[in-house]
Amino acid sequence: MNLTIDIKEHANEYDVTLAGEIDAYTAPELKKRFMGITENKNPNITVDFTHVSYMDSTGLGVFIALLKAVKANDGSLQFVGVSDRLKRLFDITGLTEILNLNSQVEGGVK
């Protein structure tokens, strides 16, 4: 399936809007795009999941790697628009304890 990745940058603020499916097919490109951002110092990343219809364990691996890279560069990571279905996936794996999840989108990503 396809995944659309839209990244808007404002100084060290990165608003990432995802649409589609995050799986073994789309995860490598997503990881590549994220790792480019995390090479910057103090990246503050907001990822909007509003239009993500599916994610598997490969996608979870991308977000764990992203979190580690962001923390290594003194940045922050926040997820918005996380559906109940995706939140359950994060809950089952215990990742809600370490990731900043917000199921509500307040005006969406800028």
Tell me the pLDDT band of 104, cut-offs 50, 70 and 90.
very low
pLDDT of residue 46: 93
pLDDT tens figures, 2-52:
999 999 999 889 999 999 999 999 999 999 999 889 888 899 999 999 999
**Contact present, 33 and 17 (Cβ < 8 Å):** no
Instruction: Walk across the sheet containing 44-55 and list its strands.
Output: 3-10, 13-22, 44-55, 76-80, 101-102
pTM (predicted TM-score): 0.86
* Residue 4 amino acid letter: T
User: Which has more pLDDT, 103 or 95?
Assistant: 95
Helix (H) or strand (E) holding 95: none
What's the CA gap between 93 and 64, in Å, rounded? 11
Domains along the chain with CATH numbers: 3-102 (3.30.750.24)
Whether the CB-CB separation of 55 and 89 falls below 8 Å is answered with yes
88: left (phi over 0), alpha (psi -120 to 50) or beta: alpha
